[in-house]
Amino acid sequence: MARATTSAFVAVLALAPAALASPPSWFLDRKSNLDGDRALERIHAAYDVSSDRKYQRAEIAAFDTCGGRKRRYELAPPGTFMARDAIFGRRALGRPAVLFSMSYADRHWIARVVQLRAKQKGACPTPALLFDYSSVRPPYPAPEDYTVGNVYAAPGEHSAAYTGKELLLTETYSSPRLGPVRKIRNTYLRYLSSKQRYVAYRTEVVPG
């Protein structure tokens, strides 16, 4: 009996490293208001990664019912990484929309605030971008010898001059030539109702 118990214990130890190395894949299915009406839509997001990280896929979509049909809207092309805790909905943003950041195989990043909005009265709502960032075409150029290595966008309140929640976009710059020396750009944005999108009102580059 003792021998069988010992064998089982050894087997558990042999499997333990594989269990501990299991990839941090995740799936999110959340109700949220994306278009401002009384009905709630659903946000589906997922990040799937293999144990050797050779396969990575991130995706996010919204589901809405309109005209008696369930409709799926892809909010961005599938990427290679997205953090679950970097997805923010109406409560955090202060308006019906969803905010997320995602990276791709070529190492570029996007950050978006997406809302479902009807283009004309009586039409089904479709995705509209209130904020659309891409490190391929950033609003401000990177410092000389630096490139964007990481991006994070989050809602918050940063200026008493503006009412409602704002956005803080953080770009982390790295440089192969300068090694561990990094720089960070913080860009602050407010929501402008007349343009129905977020606009920057301050940006600054600080040491990383």
The residue ranges of every structural domain in the chain are 23-207
Instruction: Kindly write down the DSSP assignment for every residue of 40-84, as one continuous string.
Output: -EEEEEEEEE-TTSS-EEEEEEEEEEETTEEEEEESS--BSB--G
| Gap between the Cα atoms of 130 and 114, Å rounded | 6
Task: Name residue 115's beta-bridge partners.
Answer: 128
Three-class DSSP category at 9: helix
The enclosing H or E element of 154 equals strand 147-156
- Compute CA distances 21 → 8, 25, 67, 81, 106, whole Å: 20, 12, 46, 18, 25
Question: What pLDDT does residue 23 have?
Answer: 54
Whether the Cβ atoms of residue 166 and residue 190 lie closer than 8 Å to each other: yes
What Cα–Cα distance (Å) separates residue 136 from each residue in 91, 104, 107, 108, 139?
30, 11, 10, 6, 10
Contact (CB, 8 A) for 208 and 182? yes
Measured between alpha carbons, how far is 87 from 23 in angstroms, rounded to an integer?
A: 20
Main-chain phi, psi angles of 125, to 5 degrees: -70, 150
From first to last of the 208 residues of the chain, give the pLDDT tens digit.
444 444 443 443 343 444 444 459 999 999 999 998 888 999 999 999 999 989 999 999 999 999 889 999 999 999 999 999 999 999 999 999 999 999 999 999 999 999 999 988 889 999 999 999 999 999 999 999 899 999 999 999 999 999 899 999 999 999 888 778 799 999 999 999 999 999 999 999 999 8
pTM of this structure: 0.86
